Structure 1
Amino acid sequence: MKIKQFLLASVLLVSVSNFAQKDELKKLKKIFDKDVPSAKDVEEYKVNVISLEKVVADESDKKALTYYKVNIPQMELASKGQTPSPLDIQKVYSIAYISELANVYSTIKEYEKTSGKKTFTDEIDLEFAQTKPILLNLAVDLGNQKKFKESSTVLYSIYKMDNTDVDQLFYAASYAVNGEDYDKALQYYDELIRLKYSGEGAIYFATNKASKAEESFGSNKNTRDTFVKTGSYEKPREEKIESKKGEIYKNVALIYVQQGKSTEAMKAVTQARLENPDDINLILTEADLYLNIKDFTTYKRLINEALEKNPKNADLVYNLGVISSNSNQLPDAIAYYKKAISLRPDYFNAYLNLSEVMLRGDEKYVEEMNKLGTTDKDNKRYAVIKAEREKNFQAALPYLEKAVELKPENEPAVKTLMSVYNALEMSDKYKALKMKLNK
């Protein structure tokens, strides 16, 4: 009998505690609802928040407490008569606070959606409807100031508050990349992939008859059509927005490359190419991955695949020249560099690299000449080698001269040309170039 009485007393004790917590939450709400709370109100508000944090157990009450707690900065401002309008948000609150507010609000909304009981959702939605345009402007301003991480945080906060606006998650990822916050970028891109986001769609425009200016209606075709039907707008048109899936997978791949994770990068770019098989940039991204792991055979195959789609791309041909040169496939390298020059006659690097490859054989001539003696046979062989060497210099000379003509300030090119002039005993040109170099 005594045991039962003890248990009953315990139950009553818990009930009393719960009622006390409810009363404290009501006090918080009462202070929160004041237009201009006093300093004393705010101190009581903060004390109640701290006190409830230690004892609150009910999940609904926990969410209510987080709502009141996250609004403490706003309560402090209100007590000083400084309640900010939506336009003041970017001046009053830090980026970290905006992020925290979005996290708390989105968590509360999700909980109330699941529980079926709305307490704060409508108020949160109303507040966000007022502040969203301001937050978007803030993100743009931060981006223009090259504060990419901060801009990314604001855009992600907007997405957290309105997860139907997935475009903001995409832009948050892009700004995270610009800010070199690669872990965040990957997190956002992974979420985009999970959501099967493509970003594909259209933007709708019409011309305002009064102002004669074309205006965008975003993705709201019905709104645009309604204004056209009223007669206040004319000349409706639309612009197609291409799928962003390829860009997403490509950026994921590039981030993994940056982090040295070749296997993950390969998987991402393979998926990207499945999404956009004809995207030449993706082909080049995949080629770069194979270049990083020194798989030159696959690299050249992919570059040639890209060339089939864009045969006049001098850079692609030049890259094949570089790979062939590094692989000591000199005839191929010479052919590629000459092709690059034919596509772009002012391609300095192609001229310089071509002359370097052509002159690379000079070492073998010098080595053999130094080994020869003074016999008639050796002298005849020396004359043959010397002629071949001069012929090689003469072949490379026009390309070197063109390189120096394009970039006379390039010291390596100038010094190489001087060496060729000296070898060919072209004294006047050698002296003239030396004087220019020493100025």
Structure 2
Amino acid sequence: MNVKKAIVFSLLVAAGTTTFAQTSNLRKAKTALQKYEELKGAGSAELGKSNLESAKEAIDQAIVHDKTKEDAETWTIYALVNANLATLNGTAEAATAASEGIKKATELDKEGKNADNIKVAGQTLGQFNFNQGVAAWDKQDFKTAYASFDSALGFLPGDTTLTYYSGLAAIQNQDYPNAIEKYKQLIPAKDFSSHKSVMVDLPKLYLSAKDTASAIEYAAQAAQAYPNDNDAATQNIELNLIAGNEAKIISDIESQIAKDGSNKSLYYYLGIAQSAANNNDKAIEAYKKAVSIDANYSDANRNAAATIINGVREKLNALNDDKTLSNTDYNTKVNALKEEIKEALPYLEKVVELNPEDVDALRSLKGYYDFQQDEAKATEIQAKIDAAK
């Protein structure tokens, strides 16, 4: 994101008359301000600086003159002049004066004759605060940047760019509550260029704020808003897996696989979800698919082996608890399990190959050989375990 991108306003001081008497100072201020606006509109604001200073000198006298000090137009011009000075020179003093002028003009403008120019003064003051925010951002003073962008929003309510920058500054300052607030304000702005990023990042902000429930809620919204976006879909899946909603998310994963069948992570997630739903055969199938896409996918290899081994272990425990079996029948069934568990061996070996010092994987591999009653291999693996400790 380029935070130096300026917000451009088209400013126009409306021509017209006022029912109140005007002194030469008010007329001078209006004329000088108009000349400045013309130069600024032509991209030469700096050349009009002398006109703006002349307008300032004249309007400062007009706001204390008996005939114009209670005139809404006087305070409108005062606000416009000071707002432009603040933006041109970056002066907080002029910004404060402009804010006071806007307040006074609004109070006096009972019929709304100056409403358009009061609004322009506010927009210009918003530009000043935006510029202050950019300067603070460049200095990595994100707290001040947020305050400045937020102040600009007071004059430019609903501006999506300012709202976004405010949120980004809050994130940089680890001010997650304000970041969340700004991002949530952008949810209805579907035409905003960074809308998808906002939707996808909002759940992450909730996680940073340790609000998992809201993270899941907004992850689902992001996936619904952008059903064809892999990042949004994957995040929704991951958060539901973290929250233990594996069984519920299976259909979402399968829908995403239908759109992105070469995504190994989706098959890995499906394996986790199916395993949690006690669908071990489907879990193994999913892990195998992930490995077929990437043979070196360590986590998928590990889970494939673990799921196969756990299934055999459950069957072995059931055999051990069955007191009705004869020794012959028991041994026959154990031998069948020894054959069944062989399916796990290539996955275990791959995990160890990828990380030879993975003690947990080595222990699982030794357990495999212990079950197969292969003492030589079990001793060999134990030596690797001892060396890895």
TM-score w.r.t. the length of structure 2 is: 0.61
Residue 381 (str. 1) matches residue 329 (str. 2) = yes
Aligned partners of 1:113 and 1:169: how far apart in 2? Answer: 25
Maintained 8 Å contact 2:247/2:276:
no
Task: Give matches, 1:75-94, under 5 Å.
Answer: 86=90
**Residues 391/325 of structure 1: CA separation in 2 closer, same or farther (3 Å cut):** same
**Residues 426/139 of structure 1: CA separation in 2 closer, same or farther (3 Å cut):** same
Q: Which residue of 2 aligns with 1:282?
A: 232
**What's the secondary structure of 1:186's corresponding residue?**
helix
Aligned partners of 2:96 and 2:368: how far apart in 1? Answer: 68
Q: Cα distance, 1:392 vs. partner?
A: 2.6
Q: Cα distance, 1:420 vs. partner?
A: 1.2
**What's the secondary structure of 1:361's corresponding residue?**
helix
2:136 aligned to 125, 138, 149, which one?
Answer: 138
Measured on the aligned residues, the alpha-carbon RMSD in Å equals 4.3
Q: Which residue of 1 aligns with 2:270?
A: 320
2:160 aligned to 144, 161, 166, which one?
Answer: 166
Aligned partners of 1:288 and 1:345: how far apart in 2? Answer: 22
AA partner of residue 317 (structure 2):
E
Maintained 8 Å contact 1:346/1:406:
yes
**Residues 271/406 of structure 1: CA separation in 2 closer, same or farther (3 Å cut):** closer
Q: Which residue of 2 aligns with 1:308?
A: 258
AA partner of residue 356 (structure 1):
A
**Residues 301/436 of structure 1: CA separation in 2 closer, same or farther (3 Å cut):** same
Task: Give matches, 1:80-119, under 5 Å.
Answer: 86=90, 109=102, 112=105, 115=109, 116=114
Aligned partners of 1:437 and 1:408: how far apart in 2? Answer: 9
Q: Which residue of 2 aligns with 1:209?
A: none
2:175 aligned to 171, 181, 200, which one?
Answer: 181
**Residues 366/280 of structure 1: CA separation in 2 closer, same or farther (3 Å cut):** closer
AA partner of residue 289 (structure 2):
K
Q: Which residue of 2 aligns with 1:198?
A: 191
Maintained 8 Å contact 1:139/1:154:
no
Q: Cα distance, 1:176 vs. partner?
A: 2.5
1:330 aligned to 280, 288, 292, which one?
Answer: 280
Aligned partners of 2:133 and 2:252: how far apart in 1? Answer: 43
Q: Which residue of 1 aligns with 2:147?
A: 153
Q: Cα distance, 1:434 vs. partner?
A: 2.1
The C-alpha deviation readout for 1:182-202, integer Å capped at 9, x for no partner, is 3212321243346x36333xx
What is the count of residue pairs matched by the alignment? Answer: 298
Task: Give matches, 1:20-39, under 5 Å.
Answer: none
AA partner of residue 260 (structure 2):
N
AA partner of residue 337 (structure 1):
Y
AA partner of residue 408 (structure 1):
P
The C-alpha deviation readout for 1:218-240, integer Å capped at 9, x for no partner, is xxxxxxxxxxxxxxxxxxxxxxx
Aligned partners of 1:135 and 1:291: how far apart in 2? Answer: 39
Structure 2 unaligned spans of 5+: 1-69, 80-88
Residue 357 (str. 1) matches residue 307 (str. 2) = yes
Q: Among the aligned pairs, what percent are the same residue?
A: 21
**What's the secondary structure of 2:186's corresponding residue?**
helix
Q: Cα distance, 1:339 vs. partner?
A: 0.3
Maintained 8 Å contact 1:272/1:282:
yes
Q: Cα distance, 1:298 vs. partner?
A: 3.9
Aligned partners of 1:346 and 1:438: how far apart in 2? Answer: 25
**Residues 276/356 of structure 1: CA separation in 2 closer, same or farther (3 Å cut):** closer
Aligned partners of 1:386 and 1:314: how far apart in 2? Answer: 34
1:247 aligned to 175, 192, 197, which one?
Answer: 197
Maintained 8 Å contact 1:102/1:157:
no
AA partner of residue 165 (structure 2):
Y
Aligned partners of 1:277 and 1:393: how far apart in 2? Answer: 40
Q: Which residue of 2 aligns with 1:339?
A: 289
Q: Cα distance, 1:126 vs. partner?
A: 7.5
**What's the secondary structure of 2:373's corresponding residue?**
coil
AA partner of residue 192 (structure 2):
G
Residue 418 (str. 1) matches residue 381 (str. 2) = no
**Residues 103/248 of structure 1: CA separation in 2 closer, same or farther (3 Å cut):** farther
Aligned partners of 1:308 and 1:273: how far apart in 2? Answer: 15
Maintained 8 Å contact 1:128/1:161:
yes
Aligned partners of 1:269 and 1:108: how far apart in 2? Answer: 45
The C-alpha deviation readout for 1:94-152, integer Å capped at 9, x for no partner, is xxxx9x9989966864774674389999999878767855641431441xxxx655543
Maintained 8 Å contact 1:324/1:330:
yes
Aligned partners of 2:287 and 2:228: how far apart in 1? Answer: 26
Maintained 8 Å contact 1:112/1:118:
no
Higher relative contact order (CA 8 A, sep 6+): 2
Task: Give matches, 1:421-436, under 5 Å.
Answer: 421-436=369-384
Maintained 8 Å contact 1:269/1:282:
yes
**What's the secondary structure of 2:261's corresponding residue?**
coil
Maintained 8 Å contact 1:159/1:166:
no
TM-score w.r.t. the length of structure 1 is: 0.55
Q: Cα distance, 1:437 vs. partner?
A: 2.2
